[in-house]
Amino acid sequence: MINRIVSPELCTLLRSARHVDLYAAMVVLSATAVSLSLSGTVPSWTLIAAVGITSSAGLLTNAWRQRTALIQRLEKSDYGALLRMEDSTEDRVRAPYTVTMFASLAALVCSAATAVPLSMTSNRALIVIFVSATAGFVAWSFLATVSLIRLDSLHNRSVSQLRAMREQAEADQRHSPLAN
């Protein structure tokens, strides 16, 4: 039903929005906002900058590498040809990797942007917004990376199953009485 109403890109985004990693990140963002609002402490901007920037950069690099590996896996393989029968542009297959890269990049930008206001302002609302957004994006990119690891294992299993089916068909053909 949703596919008939909106564009394929929006459908992909809506399907991605149902994933648990995004909801868990929203919980982290909300919990961080509530915790910072209720407590009187201000987080250390150097800690947020160091942890947020390094972890986000690592997660972004990992998502990029996983997406590149997926593209290479699909390029000239039977598995890629099979997937392209259903999704000619491979957008749906690449979407989780692209979303993870976006979340990681947003976490990186938020982490860098958070360090500046925390060191220069005492505005409590601004601090809560920036730190909560950073926590939410870092959590989302981490959890999305975990999801990509699971997704990669499913792709690898499908490639192996397809290879085994092809090898079995070739073996059956060699041993067939019609092959001689």
Q: Which of 93, 105, 65, 63 is nearest to 159 (CA)?
A: 93
Count up the domains in the chain and report the number: 1
Question: Average pLDDT, whole number, for the chain?
Answer: 79
Q: Is residue 148 part of a domain?
A: yes
**Tokens encoding 103:** 């979340």
Residue 51 lies in a domain: yes
pLDDT (tens digit per residue) in 80-101? 777 777 777 777 888 888 888 9
Q: What is the pTM of this model?
A: 0.73
29-38, 44-53, 83-92 — most confident range: 29-38
Residue that wins the pLDDT comparison between 74 and 104: 104
Q: Which domain holds residue 122?
A: 22-32+44-166
Residue 16: partners with Cβ closer than 8 Å, 6 or more residues away: 22, 95, 96, 99
The whole-number average pLDDT for the span 95-112 is: 88
Residue 8 resides in a domain: no
Q: What is the pLDDT of residue 61?
A: 92
Q: Residue 64's pLDDT is what?
A: 92
Confidence category of residue 5, pLDDT binned at 50, 70, 90? very low
Q: Is 11 part of any domain?
A: no
Residue 139 pLDDT greater than 80, yes or no: yes
Among 124, 116, 123, CA closest to 38: 124
CA distance 115 to 94: 32
Q: Is the pLDDT of residue 14 over 70?
A: no
Q: Is the pLDDT of residue 1 over 60?
A: no
